[in-house]
A and B are shown apart, each in its own frame.
Chain A
């Protein structure tokens, strides 16, 4: 690797780096302790240090989507205010159309000066509880334009050389239903800046502001150089993935997000041309929010081995066409800008990267399907059991299951990528403060995508209205009918998300009489599946159950180690039925029936093959020189001048590569329940399982809009 000539000696560099991390932690801790918001306590916030030019230098481990958005914001402050940036200034913004995510994610950035020189910026943000709009909590599922939603705070100087701008402050508070809570969050942000800048001052006095600045710039430059080298080492080519936002708050329509990733030399470009126009409803992301979502991938995937800073994004270019689902413009609604289109932008970009990395022998452990498909909003408001008005967001849905990797299963009940270090409250804490009663909170069996490595199971929790007459629940999710979190290399998708209610349930009487109420069937009343985006009034006898969307599997589930399937069954993570239907493993008591399992697996493969049309091609295995391996499912092999697609395990030749490996790879259309017990599918979509026509081995599973051509997963520049 090319050594960078650093301006700072390596020892002082390390000493200051560690100090900056301690400062960053203190900034984070200050927000979380001083904030009154339950959302902040569930890590829907973050804190970072930025270089004088606005580049991210030190990054907290909580909600990572905003970290590169704040970088954009600081650069806009510099552009807008120029020399008029002074010690003691704090700027804020929640403007998603310039450098923001959605109205509720308020960002505060502040320059840090030492001896008259700009040394760094501190930046923090959190999702605040209410900034106005038509729904308490400022999530507006039925809004059809921006002006029905919460207040947008354009870039403003909220503190001018140490003096709070009361006009700006009061204007914002006047637009909130919960001004006290919002004011407390703002105070927490200001405390975090004050505290972290006091520490930066001490460090600058000890080492000099110049050394602090050089440490940040050096770490960014090193990371950028290493990223460039890593990318350079990957094959050039073009990669695609498609995803959909489902439901727009009015109807369950589909909105396409198409990501085309081009890798050339030491650069990667994501292009969203072909993405549907912005929605006149809930589901959009803004360009800056989507940019931040892609940044979150870089922190997680590449940042596992590199420091988290702006260097991770230096090799990345992103093109958003104007006014699409991932780059909405006024007056399109944007109250779900933090989780809707932006997450599909992220999921498709992540999958493009997986398709690329799978060609590199050294990066097989980096390959996974999209970890974050949807946020299952659980926003409740009304009167609490103490007769006080309240609004809260239950963060239990952060327990969604993570995607599987080639070397490990996805994390059960807590596999988020976008909030790497997430957590949610104890049931007792939520019940103590909110008028709800949990009927259950548990790992949802069979909800992770099946695979050779299994996707993580998600969480399921049922809230009954308790000690109050009525609650308003705001539902906002996607992926209720789109298995966004697909599996990779033959793995199945994870479950889709679900809101379900029992209306006029008599669960209380049942429990008082000594009956178990363990699912909605047992809760009585009327069962209803709630719309993915809606507002519901819940009466005193109503129950709402939530099930998250979860990560997909890696590899064909029929190849999963039998002992691991048995472990999952005995642990309660996989049901006996799914062990048999998805994994072909027959569990008898506490052991596997090996003979029956061998039969079952053989039959499952045969059944797949029976559904394949006859391609008329000769698939006989051939030994040909391998030009590229794509994970362990497909080889690109050379036959004279021609590149052929070969199934890696059997050696079967599928056909000439041409422009698209899928064109020569046979598939069968599968019903969602064939791939997972809790997958629901939009009527316009179909699920395809691409197979080795000689063995039935699953090579890839994906969804395709009926009547549309699938994406071209890869086109390598040189073969």
Chain B
């Protein structure tokens, strides 16, 4: 590793739950990975611990290693945890007079982000607790109309009095969200000045800066969450920056944003709400990177952990962004990499209810965990089923660091599932696995086919603790081209973060409409006016990148607009086919919208008679920092590897699976299932009848075609 000690490391850490993963990417494309326990009290300690490991690996002092880092980036769950655990600032909220209850009215919604059983449990269906304390909401006397006209001037004295009231309540942060600030931000800006005059130390967020988008409920929640997280995120990131500088890091660290790009860490103090998906997004970006090495531009990313299963999409080489994401059952209206989640993971509990077997969404979590972990778990989980089926070897799993209780797992499945249903233990275990696999496949189907994306154009990249064990099954039958388990599966997010670019997304709501019955948009919408709106948004985006030290000509800009047919509510995000905007370009944009719409909702579904509306204009500005790309391994002359042993596995019947270790992940190696690659932190399972090949980067690529005989065999066995 001494070959390139000259400030040429791209280093990234994913500061996750249990472990902090760090990857060191050399200019040459070689990758090294390190893990250390996460240190919740002071996250940077865990990062420095991995740096020490990397330095030792390179045979140098830690500080020398740090000094040679060309770019350090990281992902962190600090904002996410703050929201989920409601650990944040005491936050006052200022809303337009007459609308102070909007945060508890929640547009009447009780169902944000719930699964079927919860939605149908009407007797217990109540609204989710808002992050906003309604007693810390004050109304601001002011009002602007839909056209941006001031109907009632801002009453500064009354506003000042409300601010003082909040201060006397001890608020540490104040969020301001006024109606129609998207058209007229001056009232919000003035309120922010008043707060600064009254209490310069209080953290202030105004919605016209955090999210200038029409729709006050999501905007106020987003702004309030920003204020709520602000002080703590500022503290953590400032301290991390300072500690790393002390450790001789030469530059400001970068932090992963929800939008799939990096930002200078000081941005997190201003816009913490933009970092809520900092952790999981790394996995999507990492998957894109892996797929890129295979020449694939469309990727379904599948992250199966202990309690949840997350699916994201990369379309045409770019992570799919969605304008709004539900977090903790609240709408966070920040453009984010779209990630769909269900409660399905290794810890998902299997239960028999009314003669039916259900798996998840309840999870045994880390405590007590699956029965086989011996942590006191009683109800059988997916991992217990995996152990019983032989997919996880109880003595050698995770490099033998932890011996699993196979008998316990078997007993739990027998008592709780097999006996009540009159099945054998193997059938019950396979049933548990089949149900969870099909729930995950359903989610992937919802994220692809149901959204108008044909899975036949996609590869599936699976990672997370349980993803490599199950991908052979949930990925089969979807019609994807390949199922890929990256060799870096366990540090997948860190890898994605290392290889990311700086990105700024910014937007503005400015409505342009065509009248009902019209067909040529450019006759009704002024292309120059549209161009002016986009130019303004672009200027701001570029300025934000410039403030992070990026030169203008290193910035790539893409333009999007949220569009809908008039009288509709739901929008589709469409990329502008060309820029700058011309009348003919506008008409092509509308044509692209209609085409996208019909692709999604079926031919003939477009409501063209209604006219169209352009609503939110968005710019994605990307700095091309050209991080290193992954280096393929040299083709190997070594013969096909020998299995380290054979394990008994159950795929509709017991058979022997060849088990390989990580040494076998050499380019060109081919195996036929059932087979298992036993890695230090997970198992890659190849299903019975499937074939897999190891590519030049050490990734395992499974041909998703299953052997149908296996399924039929199992069904026959079940039906006696």
> Are A and B a genuine interacting pair, yes or no?
yes
- A residues sitting closer than 8 Å to B (CB atoms) are 1, 3-4, 6, 9-15, 17-19, 21-22, 25-26, 29-30, 32-38, 41, 61, 180-181, 183-184, 187-188, 190-191, 194-195, 199, 206, 222, 226, 299-301, 303-305, 307-308, 365-366, 368, 385-386, 388, 396, 398-399, 405, 408, 411-414, 417, 420-429, 431-433, 437-443, 459, 466, 508, 511-512, 514, 516-518, 570-572
User: Given contacts A36-B568, A414-B105, A421-B110, are A571 and B134 in contact (CB under 8 A)?
Assistant: yes
* Cross-chain pairs A/B with CB under 8 angstroms, 17 sampled: A4-B355, A15-B435, A19-B442, A41-B569, A181-B567, A398-B108, A399-B108, A411-B125, A412-B104, A413-B101, A414-B106, A414-B109, A423-B108, A423-B111, A431-B146, A432-B511, A511-B151
Which residues of chain B are within 8 angstroms of A421 by Cβ–Cβ distance? Answer: 109-111, 119
Q: Does B719 contact A (CB under 8 A)?
A: yes
Q: Which of B356, B513, B567 contacts A13 (CB 8 A)?
A: B356
Are B356 and A14 in contact (CB-based, < 8 A)?
Answer: yes
6 nearest CB pairs, A to B: A440-B98, A11-B431, A414-B108, A421-B111, A511-B152, A300-B122
Q: Given A26-B450, A61-B120, are A442 and B604 also a contact pair (CB < 8 Å)?
A: no
Are A187 and B105 also in contact (CB < 8 A) when A15-B435, A386-B515 are? no
Contact between B356 and A180, CB atoms less than 8 A apart: no
Nearest chain B residue, comparing its CB with the CB of A570: B135
Q: Is the CB of A411 within 8 A of B126?
A: yes
CB neighbours (8 Å) of A427 from chain B are 99, 102, 179, 216
Complex interface: chain A residues within 8 A of B569 (CB): 38, 41, 425, 429
Q: Is B434 an interface residue (CB 8 A)?
A: yes
Shortest C-beta distance, A366 to chain B (Å), equals 7
B435 nearest CB across to chain A (Å): 5
Chain A, Cβ-Cβ closest to B434: A11
Q: How many angstroms from the CA of A425 to the CA of B604 in the assembled complex?
A: 27
Per-residue CB proximity of B178-201 to A under 8 Å, as 1/0? 011010000000000000000000
- Per-residue CB proximity of B94-124 to A under 8 Å, as 1/0? 0001111110111111110000100111111
A13-B356, A14-B357, A206-B477 known; A426 vs B215 contact (CB < 8 Å): yes
| Across-interface contacts of B397 in A (CB, < 8 A) | none
Which residues of B sit under 8 angstroms from A180, Cβ to Cβ?
Answer: 516-517, 607, 609-610
| Contact call A443/B101, Cβ cutoff below 8 A | yes
Known: A226-B354, A427-B216. 13 other contacts (CB 8 A): A1-B354, A10-B357, A21-B116, A206-B477, A303-B120, A303-B122, A386-B513, A411-B110, A414-B105, A421-B109, A442-B99, A466-B145, A511-B143
Q: How far is the CA of A307 from the CA of B116 in the complex (A)?
A: 10
CA distance A515 to B179 in the complex (A): 18
CB nearest to A410 among chain B residues = B126
Give the residues in chain A near B516, CB-CB below 8 Å: 180, 388
Are B135 and A571 in contact, CB atoms less than 8 angstroms apart?
A: yes
Does residue B235 face the partner (Cβ distance < 8 Å to A)? no
Q: Across the interface, do B120 and A308 meet the contact criterion of CB distance under 8 Å?
A: yes
Whether the pair B105, A399 counts as a contact (CB closer than 8 A) is yes
Chain A residues near B100: list those with CB within 8 A. Answer: 442
Q: Which residues from B are CB-within-8-Å of A411?
A: 110, 125-127
Q: Is the pair A11, B105 in contact by a Cβ cutoff of 8 Å?
A: no
Which residue of the partner chain, among B123, B143, B513, contacts A365 with CB atoms under 8 Å?
B123
Residue pair B98, A15 in contact (C-beta under 8 Å): no
Given contacts A414-B110, A428-B179, A420 and B125 within 8 Å (CB-CB): yes
Tell whether, in the assembled complex, residue A514 and residue B120 are in contact, meaning their CB atoms are under 8 Å apart.
Answer: no
Q: What residues of A have a CB within 8 angstroms of the CB of B215 in the complex?
A: 426, 428-429
Nearest-CB distance from B496 to chain A (Å)? 28
Report B458 CB to chain A, min CB distance, Å.
Answer: 16
B59 within 8 A of A: no
B605 within 8 A of A: yes
Q: Is the CB of B99 within 8 A of A440?
A: yes
Q: Are B355 and A3 in contact (CB under 8 A)?
A: yes
User: Among A11, A22, A304, A514, which residue has its beta carbon within 8 angstroms of that of B442?
Assistant: A22
- Known A-B contacts A427-B179, A514-B155; A437 and B145 likewise in contact (beta carbons under 8 Å): yes
- Chain B residues with CB under 8 A of A307: 120
* Contact A187-B120, Cβ < 8 Å, known A10-B356, A428-B179: no
Q: Does B355 lie within 8 Å of A417, measured CB to CB?
A: no
- Distance A187 CA – B610 CA, assembled complex (angstroms): 13
Instruction: Please tell me which one of the listed residues A14, A37, A301, A386 contacts residue B123 in the complex, with CB atoms under 8 A apart.
Output: A301
A421 to B114, CA, bound (A): 10
Closest partner residue, chain B, to A402 (CB atom)? B126
Q: Which residues of A contact B217 (CB under 8 A)?
A: 426
B105–A12 touching, CB < 8 Å: no
Residue in A308, A421, A518 whose Cβ sees the most chain B Cβ within 10 Å: A421
Tell me, in angstroms, the Cα distance from A447 to B215 when the chains sit together.
27
Expressed in whole angstroms, the Cα–Cα distance for A431 and B141 within the complex equals 19
In the docked arrangement, what's the CA distance between A273 and B598, Å?
Answer: 51
Residues of A within 8 A of B108 (CB): 396, 398-399, 413-414, 422-424, 459
Residue of B nearest to A409 (CB): B126
State A411–B124 Cα separation when bound (angstroms).
10
Can you name the residue of chain A whose Cβ is closest to the Cβ of B97? Answer: A516
Chain B residue numbers with a CB within 8 Å of A18 are 435, 438-439, 442
Chain A residues near B129 (CB, 8 Å)?
none
Interface residues of B in 567-608 (CB under 8 A from A): 567-570, 600-602, 604-605, 607
| Of the residues B105, B135, B153, B435, contact of A459 by C-beta under 8 Å | B105
- Residues of A near B601 (CB, < 8 A) are 30, 33-34, 188, 191, 195
Report B-chain residues with C-beta under 8 Å of the C-beta of A417: 122
How many Å lie between the Cα of A29 and that of B602 in the bound state?
Answer: 13
A438's partner among B98, B105, B715 (CB-CB below 8 A) is B98
**Which residues from A are CB-within-8-Å of B609?**
180, 183-184
Asked if B605 contacts A187 (CB within 8 A), the reply is yes
Closest to B432 in A: A11
Contact A14–B607 (Cβ < 8 Å)? no
> Is B446 part of the binding interface, using a Cβ–Cβ cutoff of 8 Å?
yes
Say whether, besides A181-B610, A191-B602, A514 and B152 are in contact (CB < 8 Å): yes
CA A188 – CA B605 in complex, angstroms? 6
Q: Please give, as numbers and ranges, the residues of chain B lying within 8 Å of A30 by CB-CB distance.
A: 601-602
Alpha-carbon distance between A303 and B111 when the two chains are bound, in angstroms: 16
Most buried by B among A183, A412, A432: A432
Q: Which residue of A lies closest to B182 (CB)?
A: A428
B123 touches A300 (CB 8 A): yes
Please determine whether A6 and B355 come into contact, CB atoms closer than 8 angstroms.
yes
Determine if A414 and B120 form an interchain contact, defined as CB atoms under 8 angstroms apart.
Answer: no
CB contact under 8 A between A425 and B602, given known A9-B719, A18-B442: no
Q: How far is the CB of A183 from chain B (nearest CB, A)?
A: 8
B687 to A: closest C-beta gap in Å = 16
Q: Which of B387-440 contact A (CB under 8 A)?
A: 421, 423, 427, 430-431, 434-435, 438-439
Give bound CA distance, A190 to B97, whole Å. 44
Nearest chain B CB to A16 CB, angstrom units? 9
| Pairwise interchain contact B450-A187, C-beta atoms closer than 8 A | no
Confirm or deny: B77 has a beta carbon within 8 angstroms of a beta carbon on chain A: no
Across the interface, do A35 and B122 meet the contact criterion of CB distance under 8 Å?
no
Q: Are A15 and B99 interface neighbours, CB within 8 A?
A: no
Give A305 to B583 CA distance when docked, in angstroms: 57
- What's the nearest-Cβ distance from chain B to residue A518, in Å? 6
Closest A residue, CB atoms, query B137: A572
Q: How far, in angstroms, from A307 to B180 measured CA to CA in the complex?
A: 43
For B431, list chain A residues within 8 Å (CB). Answer: 10-11, 14
* Cβ-closest chain B residue relative to A426: B215
Q: B565 at the A/B interface (Cβ < 8 Å)?
A: yes
Known: A10-B355, A421-B111. A572 touches B134 (CB 8 A): yes
Question: Across the interface, do B122 and A301 meet the contact criterion of CB distance under 8 Å?
Answer: yes
A439 and B98 in contact (CB under 8 A), knowing A15-B434, A427-B216?
Answer: yes
> Which residues of chain A are within 8 angstroms of B565 by Cβ–Cβ distance?
36, 184
A15:B152 contact, CB within 8 angstroms: no
Q: Which residues of A contact B155 (CB under 8 A)?
A: 514
B497 at the A/B interface (Cβ < 8 Å)? no
Check B107–A424 contact: CB distance below 8 A. Answer: yes
**Cα of A423 to Cα of B352 in the assembled complex, Å:** 34
A9 to B570, CA, bound (A): 40
